[in-house]
Amino acid sequence: MLADEAALASVLEQAFGIDVAALGDERVSRLWRAACAQHEDFVRQRAAVPGTPAP
């Protein structure tokens, strides 16, 4: 998991070549919230499986 929204913006630009300025702050924030929610769901699902270590 990335540390914060700024780290997400950096990865979007550097790894995927996405112009975050063109996306705008609102869209980057929405992507960040979606990524956090997806990660929380993943952690919750892993915790439901006995013997599975936490990420």
Domain membership flag for residue 32: yes
Confidence of residue 50 (pLDDT cuts 50, 70, 90): confident
Domain membership flag for residue 16: yes
Domain membership flag for residue 10: yes
Domain membership flag for residue 17: yes
Q: Where do we find the tokens 């997400």?
A: 8
Domain membership flag for residue 12: yes
Domain membership flag for residue 52: no
Segments forming the whole domain that contains residue 34? 5-47
Contacts for 30-39 with beta carbons within 8 Å, 24 or more apart?
A: 32/4, 32/5, 32/8, 35/1, 35/2, 35/8, 36/1, 39/1
Q: How many domains does the chain have?
A: 1
The pLDDT tens digits for 8-45 are 999 999 999 999 999 999 999 999 999 999 999 999 99
Q: Where do we find the tokens 């270590």?
A: 53
Domain membership flag for residue 53: no
Q: Which residue has the higher pLDDT, 30 or 49?
A: 30
